[in-house]
């Protein structure tokens, strides 16, 4: 018998890393499992590099019946005992295959702040088919409960990160000049950056207004928006229209995330609606001080005055004041960065995340099975 971890997403985002971290921990624990991914995706590549037992499927974005039947056959062949889906797309095809294969247990992880639509396939699956639903923040749990999903099914397990990529060769303790070289910044420029997809609820447009305010107080503060996707052209236009001039955009940030973060002096978040930011945890792993808005699950990570500064969402002036506070008080900025680093190591490691997920598997009926294989 085996576990199936199913993540059919194709983009490289922090959410995809959660399934990869969990798969690595399952391998380390000696549990038999199969990692189901999109053929030739980021996860497929990383799974091969990590020598994980991987089953690649060519699914695409629609409902792919040949892939569904192929997955169901593999589930029967491997005697799948539990199927764990990451995201609604994985749930759609994975749960259908699990039903055909008569898989005993089904679990889904949800990391977005939007509720399943009332008429959606996913909401029906959440209510009737899932033995457990993993929310990566209390905020998501609240959204799911408001959507009519029973709280007894929902388990809050925060995202975890692999610290090794940020600590390699004493990375955390040294500054990198990657962005300074890339954009010809000088040594005393103060680099403030955000890493996120350019979508409306991330609030980057408020950062442009914030940059306009900061420019009047200190021309040495430089704003860097790192991301990609739909709002790029709109943000470019907003930047030109507001005559800020000191905002730089960096695309394709994922592979260079450690280098980019090491180049920054301060990390900023501007969402008004967000579950949990992987880039926030990454920034804290780099000991960066953080200024963030009280949006979604962010206050579950950032404690005001202890691990960062929090301001109201959609408020460029408040955001600018908090950035200026840390720009002018480098001791406070250093203290917040140090404390944030300590907290995420205590609470947000991928090992801690995986341990909680495995405990959840045990609690829904796999305790004896897991203990048997863990001892083997």
Looking at residue 253, the DSSP 8-state letter turns out to be -
Neighbours of 63 (CB within 10 A): 13
Looking at residue 172, its pLDDT comes to 47
Our measurement of the distance from residue 192's CA atom to the centroid of its chain's CA atoms, rounded to an integer in Å, reads 20
pLDDT of 160 strictly over 90: no
SS3 assignment, position 103: coil
Q: E strand or H helix at 106, and its extent?
A: strand 105-110
Count other Cβ atoms within 10 Å, centred on residue 359. Answer: 13
Residues 30-62 pLDDT 10s? 999 999 999 999 899 999 999 999 999 988 766
The domains found in the chain, sorted by start residue, are 2-160+349-375 (3.40.50.2000), 164-347 (3.40.50.2000)
The predicted structure's pLDDT at residue 140: 87
> How does the average pLDDT of the chain come out, rounded?
82
Q: What is the dihedral of CA 226, 227, 232, 234, to 10 degrees?
A: -70
- Which residues fall within 8 angstroms of residue 353, CB to CB, at 6 or more apart? 18, 21, 22, 157, 158, 159, 160
- pLDDT at res. 173: 44
Spatial CB neighbours of 57, under 8 Å, sequence gap ≥ 6? 8, 36, 37, 38, 39, 64, 67, 70, 71
The torsion defined by the Cα of 329, 331, 336 and 342, in degrees rounded to 10, comes to 170
At 241-267, the pLDDT tens digits run 555 445 555 555 555 677 788 889 999
- Predicted confidence (pLDDT) per residue in 97-125, tens digit: 999 999 999 999 988 777 776 655 566 77
pLDDT score, position 170:
44
Asked whether the beta carbons of 252 and 220 are under 8 A apart, the reply is: no
Tokens representing 370 are 């897991």
pLDDT at 228: 59
Residue 73: pLDDT over 90: yes
Average of per-residue pLDDT across 302-317: 92
Ranges 14-23, 231-240, 346-355, most confident: 346-355
What token pair was written down for 155? 């388990």
Q: Does the pTM exceed 0.85?
A: no
Q: What angle do CA 158, 159, 162 make, to 5 degrees?
A: 135
Query: Among 36-45, 51-60, 66-75, 229-238, which is the least confidently predicted range?
Result: 229-238
pLDDT at 94 over 90: yes
Exposure string of 219-250, with b = 16+ CB inside 10 Å and e = fewer, is eebbbbbbbbeebbeebeebbeeeebebbbeb
pLDDT confidence of residue 133: 94
Residue 124 is encoded by which pair of tokens?
A: 């029906």
**pLDDT score for 34:** 97
């Amino acid at each position: 018998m085996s576990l199936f971890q199913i993540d059919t997403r194709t983009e490289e985002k922090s959410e995809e890393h959660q399934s990869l971290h969990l798969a690595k921990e399952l391998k380390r624990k000696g549990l038999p499992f199969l990692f189901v991914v999109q053929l030739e995706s980021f996860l497929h590549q990383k799974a091969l590099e990590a020598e994980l037992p991987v089953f690649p499927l060519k699914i695409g974005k629609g409902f792919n019946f040949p892939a569904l039947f192929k997955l169901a056959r593999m589930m029967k062949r491997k005697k799948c005992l539990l199927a764990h889906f990451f995201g609604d797309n994985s749930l759609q095809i994975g749960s259908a295959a699990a039903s055909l294969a008569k898989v005993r247990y089904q679990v889904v992880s949800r990391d977005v702040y939007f509720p399943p639509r009332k008429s959606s396939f996913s909401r029906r699956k959440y209510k009737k088919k899932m033995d457990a639903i993993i929310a990566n923040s209390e905020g998501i749990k609240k959204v799911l409960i408001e959507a009519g999903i029973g709280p007894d099914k929902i388990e809050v397990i925060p995202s975890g990160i692999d610290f090794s990529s940020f600590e390699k060769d004493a990375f955390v303790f040294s500054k990198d000049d990657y962005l300074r070289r890339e954009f010809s910044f000088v040594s005393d420029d103060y680099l403030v950056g955000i890493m996120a997809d350019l979508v409306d609820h991330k609030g980057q447009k408020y950062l442009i207004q914030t940059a306009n305010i900061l420019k009047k107080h200190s021309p040495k503060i430089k704003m860097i928006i790192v991301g990609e996707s739909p709002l790029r052209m709109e943000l470019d236009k907003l930047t030109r229209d507001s005559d800020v001039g000191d905002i730089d955009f960096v695309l394709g940030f994922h592979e260079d995330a450690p280098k980019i973060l090491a180049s920054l002096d301060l990390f900023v978040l501007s969402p008004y609606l967000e579950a949990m930011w992987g880039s926030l945890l990454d920034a804290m792993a780099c000991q960066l001080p953080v200024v963030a808005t009280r949006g979604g699950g962010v206050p579950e990570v950032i404690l005001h005055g202890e691990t960062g500064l929090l301001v109201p969402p959609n408020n460029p002036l408040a955001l600018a004041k908090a950035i200026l506070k840390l720009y002018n008080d480098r001791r406070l900025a250093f203290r917040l960065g140090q404390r944030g680093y300590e907290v995420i190591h205590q609470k947000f490691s991928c090992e801690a995340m995986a341990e909680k997920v495995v405990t959840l598997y045990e609690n829904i009926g796999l305790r004896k099975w897991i203990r048997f294989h863990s001892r083997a």
